[in-house]
Amino acid sequence: MLKIRLKRLGAKKAPTYRIIVINSTTKREGRPVQELGHYNPKTKVMKLDLAAAQEWIKKGAQPTETVAYLIKNCNEDGTLNYVKKETVKLSKKAQAKAQAEAEAKAAAEAASAEEAPAEA
């Protein structure tokens, strides 16, 4: 089975990848069937032959999870349409505190909603 996956290049702690079509049983740095482009995760720079990638998918090649994400977020010219996530990850303690505050606020709103019809 053919896979569309990443081939790691670059120095230690400075990876760059080539997006390749390769047999699934071949090792990661093995000889590819075709190179479709390259991707640098540090700078978010990508160049991909989108038409060739979609053609290989039509032929039955299976993209890996990462490559599927890159293909989905690829512009027509083959560059990455990167959108930085706005959400902030909280620790378990901070998540519990935020949840407790939300529950207290909801309880206060419910109590004030019960008092409002009684006054009217």
Residue with tokens 């529950």, as numbered in its chain: 103
**Using an 8 Å Cβ cutoff, are 78 and 48 in contact?**
yes
The pLDDT of residue 3? 94
Within a 10 A sphere around the Cβ of 90, how many other Cβ atoms? 11
The pLDDT of residue 116? 64
Residues whose CB falls within 8 Å of the CB of residue 33, separated by 6 or more in sequence, listed in order: 2, 20, 21, 22, 23
Q: What is the pLDDT along the chain (120 residues), one digit of tens a residue?
A: 999 999 999 999 999 999 999 998 988 788 999 999 999 999 989 999 999 999 999 999 999 999 999 999 988 888 888 777 777 788 889 889 999 999 998 888 888 877 766 555
pTM: 0.67
- Residues counted in the chain: 120
Between CA 79 and CA 24, with CA 35 as vertex, the angle to 5 degrees is 115
The pLDDT of residue 80? 87
